[in-house]
């Protein structure tokens, strides 16, 4: 918790930290872990100098409707006096090996806009700033690299990367549009400030069935699921041009964190990940 408080204070977010060490331990090392963590330790002969842990990378697995299995880096931190020794890169390298072994092809994380040193470091590693792209039009058909078989295996196999709620037509109406008319695809994640959270990857209702309250019903059922799992926050993105969707989410009580938080959303793709893991050298 000491390092979590340090990084929160560094980002002027200390008053937003609502979890404690007991919650962190239960959520990461219990029978139903919400995150995974890699740590950097001092050699035994140096432990009297700074304590045992000098850095960590906290992450969790998620899903993208365009590229499939991904990983979210919630936090990467190295104690100040040990920076510049390659510890952060080593933590990312080990994380890349773990996620590539799980079939992930993308690593996503955010960096504060004012942190020019961190921004430059991630660019040097091959990361791409996706902040502007997220705000652009949904013309992403050429980015879809998964198919129905992959989607089925990743969501309904023995090791699911996402969960999904669907809206169906009543049996007597099935000949009109087909069986499914909407879905909400989501996965669980973690915040070192607030604990268990959920990421809404996609909420979609077939056009002719919009305006019937189906989207709100899907979100309502999803809220019940995530609250039952102890989550206190739902995160999602909306394209800037979609004023109707923005207004709808605001009406539901959502807060736009984009301008207030001033963070850049970064992505390390498959090639950069393999290079980082040592497979592409």
Question: Catalytic residue numbers?
Answer: 249
DSSP-based three-state secondary structure for 74:
strand
Do residues 109 and 252 lie in contact, with contact meaning Cβ atoms separated by under 8 Å? no
β pairing state of 195-205 and 234-235 = parallel
Do residues 37 and 60 lie in contact, with contact meaning Cβ atoms separated by under 8 Å? no
**DSSP secondary structure code for residue 171 in this structure:** G
- Residues counted in the chain: 281
DSSP-based three-state secondary structure for 123:
helix
Measured in degrees and rounded to the nearest 5, phi and psi for residue 232 equal -125, 5
What's the burial of 175, exposed, middle or buried (CB within 10 Å: 0-12/13-18/19+)? exposed
Residue 238 has which token pair?
């909306």
| Neighbour tally for 122: CB within 10 Å | 21
Q: At CA 105, angle to CA 111 and CA 3, rounded to 5?
A: 35
Residues 6 or more apart whose Cβ sits within 8 Å of residue 37: 28, 56, 57, 58, 59
Sheet containing 163-168, strands listed edge to edge, beginning at the edge strand earlier in sequence? 163-168, 180-191, 195-205, 234-235
Alpha-carbon distance of 57 to 270, in angstroms, equals: 19
Do residues 106 and 70 lie in contact, with contact meaning Cβ atoms separated by under 8 Å? yes
């Amino acid at each position: 918790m000491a390092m979590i408080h340090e990084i929160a204070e560094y980002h002027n977010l200390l008053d937003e930290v609502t979890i404690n060490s007991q919650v962190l331990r239960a959520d990461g090392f219990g029978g139903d872990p919400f995150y995974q963590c890699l740590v950097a330790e001092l050699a035994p002969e140096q432990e009297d100098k700074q304590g045992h842990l000098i850095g960590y990378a906290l992450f969790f697995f998620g899903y993208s409707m365009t590229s499939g299995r991904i990983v979210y880096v919630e936090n990467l931190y190295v104690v100040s006096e040990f920076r510049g020794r390659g510890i952060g890169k080593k933590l990312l390298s080990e994380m890349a090996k773990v996620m590539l072994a799980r079939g992930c092809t993308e690593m996503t994380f955010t960096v504060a806009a004012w942190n020019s040193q961190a921004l430059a470091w991630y660019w040097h590693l091959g990361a791409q700033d996706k902040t502007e792209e997220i705000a652009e039009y949904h013309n992403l058909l050429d980015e879809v690299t998964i198919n129905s078989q992959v989607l089925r295996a990743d969501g309904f196999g023995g090791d699911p990367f996402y969960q999904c709620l669907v809206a169906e037509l009543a049996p007597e109406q099935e000949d009109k549009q087909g069986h499914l008319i909407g879905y909400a695809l989501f996965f669980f994640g973690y915040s070192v400030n607030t604990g268990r959270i959920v990421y809404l990857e996609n909420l979609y209702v077939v056009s002719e069935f919009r305006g019937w309250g189906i989207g709100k019903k899907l979100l309502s059922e999803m809220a019940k699921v995530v609250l039952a799992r102890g989550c206190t926050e739902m995160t999602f993105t909306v394209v800037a041009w979609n004023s109707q969707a923005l207004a709808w989410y605001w009406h539901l009580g959502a807060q736009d964190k984009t301008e207030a938080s001033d963070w850049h959303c970064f992505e390390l793709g498959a090639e950069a990940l393999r290079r980082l893991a040592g497979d592409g050298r």
